[in-house]
Amino acid sequence: MTLFEEAKKYIPGGVNSPVRAFGSVHMEPVFAKYGKGPYIFDENGEKYIDFINSWGPLILGHSNKFLIERGKKYLEEGLTFGLPTNIEVEMAKFLTQAIGTDMVRMVNSGTEATMSAIRLARGFTGRDKIIKFEGCYHGHSDCLLVKSGSGTLTYNVQTSKGVPVDITKDTLVCRYNDIENVKNTIEKYKGQIACVIIEPVAGNMGVVSPKLDFIKSLREITEKENILLIFDEVITAFRCKFGSVKTLFGIEPDLYCLGKIIGGGLPVGAFAGKREIMEHLSPLGDVYQAGTLSGNPLAMKMGLDVLKILKENPSIYDKLEKNAKLLEEGFNDNIKSVALPAMTTRFNTMICLFFGEFDQIESYDDVKKADTKAYEKYFSYMLKEKILLPPAQFEAMFLSAAQDDEIINYTIEKNKEALEYVKENLNK
């Protein structure tokens, strides 16, 4: 019996989060045993270059020596108290300054962050309806599991079973990068919409960049209608750049959702925003939100150490961006020379390779045209060459600062062979 077969006996689908099942690439998943720098070593003793990096958190790569030494010390200081701690104050001060906002509340996952931010937006505005965008993923809370991205897109779950219709009726879904669609929806439900939640750079339907005038108009219209604008930056914050991506657009959302990188590999999320909104949270206000392990000292200490490294070493972002650009250029050259229908999308350090014929990739409708069978062949070839990509077309590649030129060049070289392999097997 393989480990996966055994896993499936005790865990639904053998995994604790669906994309890990390698379902859309029809293979048994890689079972990670340990990680070192840019590599994952699996239970069979194979070594892979890792482009998953735990789906974002490991921006410094695996088992950073400095962080491990610090972590050992933190373990001795106690794991959790259920009392406020100094490190939570330090984390809150650091995060609000880095993001450029007033207050933050820590939670344990990105799902909790978006769920709580939406509750807060509804409590603050006294309105029930929300707008989300097709193909954006905001975790798995009920009202956000409509035309979602990531695993729901991979497994084609448009709306999850078990979510009452009464809950999804307040979720309005708009097209990414289509401001007219947003304007019409807001007009139709005037005075009823609490918030618009968006991935400012979409990373859960592959990588889809926002158009600058779309994001700017979104801010203008929400402000005019007293609708809160929520940036779900669970991926983008501290990945595309240090802090929030808002500075790249020159606008200011009302609330931010954070996660992944800020926990340094431990389970953490957060939501942050303007004081007059955040003060509606319990115990000050009447929007309830709580968590036994929220602000967990170990997670705060490990997360803050990572954030401080990122702040003190801006060259990390230069390196990530340089590597993403090299991959983009390398992939594009390969696509051209192999003459295979495919397209690379990139926003700063976020990059994705789509298979299929595209005029442009700006929305869910565009990404749905992707040839997932071609991606499957690509993925399996790369895996054979010991390069671990996200096991689904609709995900970003996650780079880490532990990846050097040699790894990037090797990846580009193998990408060419993989594209040739895909082309030869396109209709098989």
Ligand X SMILES: *Cc1c(COP(=O)(O)O)cnc(C)c1O
Which residues have C-beta within 8 Å of that of residue 268, sequence separation ≥ 6?
106, 107, 108, 109, 259, 262, 296, 299, 300, 303
Name the catalytic one among 137, 176, 317, 381. Answer: 137
Q: Is 278 in the site for ligand X (CB under 6 A)?
A: no
Sign (positive/negative) of CA torsion 353, 354, 356, 359? negative
Q: Is 238 in the site for ligand X (CB under 6 A)?
A: no
**Which three-class secondary structure state does DSSP give residue 232?**
strand
Q: Which residue is nearest to ligand X (CB)?
A: 110
Is 366 a binding residue for ligand X by CB under 6 A? The answer is no
The whole-angstrom separation of Cα 357 and Cα 230 is: 33
Q: Does 199 bind ligand X (CB under 6 A)?
A: yes
Question: Which residues have C-beta within 8 Å of that of residue 377, sequence separation ≥ 6?
Answer: 418, 421, 422, 425
**The tokens of 408 are what?**
């990037």
Site string for ligand X, 80-109 (x = CB under 6 A): -----------------------------x
- Judged by CB under 6 A, does residue 137 bind ligand X? yes
**Catalytic residue check, 260:** yes
Q: Can residue 259 be called a binding residue for ligand X (CB under 6 A)?
A: yes
**What part of residues 108-127 is at the interface with ligand X (CB under 6 A)?**
109-111, 114
Q: Do residues 87 and 300 make contact, with C-beta atoms less than 8 angstroms apart?
A: yes
> Of 220, 215, 204, whose CA–CA distance to 137 is shortest?
204
| Distance of closest approach, residue 260 Cβ to ligand X, in angstroms | 6
Examine the residue annotation and report whether 128 is marked as an active-site residue of this protein: no
Which of 107, 174, 230, 234 is in the footprint of ligand X by CB under 6 A?
Answer: 234
Question: Does 54 participate in binding ligand X (rule CB under 6 A)?
Answer: no
# binding residues, ligand X (CB under 6 A): 15
Q: Which is nearer to ligand X, 110 or 210 (CB)?
A: 110
User: From the list 92, 235, 240, 422, which residue makes contact with ligand X (rule: CB under 6 A)?
Assistant: 235
Q: Looking at 39, 48, 176, 232, which residue is catalytic?
A: 232
Beta carbon of residue 110, minimum distance to ligand X (angstroms, whole number): 2
Whether the CB-CB separation of 358 and 345 falls below 8 Å is answered with: no
Q: How far is the CB of 137 from ligand X (least distance, A)?
A: 5
Selected from 105, 122, 138, 147, the binder of ligand X by CB under 6 A is 138
What is the rounded CA–CA span in Å between residue 365 and residue 361?
9
Q: What is the DSSP string of 73-135?
A: HHHHT-S--SS--HHHHHHHHHHHHHHT-SEEEEESSHHHHHHHHHHHHHHHHT--EEEEETT
Q: Is there a catalytic annotation at residue 232? A: yes
d(C-alpha 212, C-alpha 104), whole Å: 27
The residues annotated with a catalytic role in the active site are 137, 232, 260
Which residues contact ligand X by CB under 6 A?
109-111, 114, 137-139, 199, 203-204, 232, 234-235, 259, 269
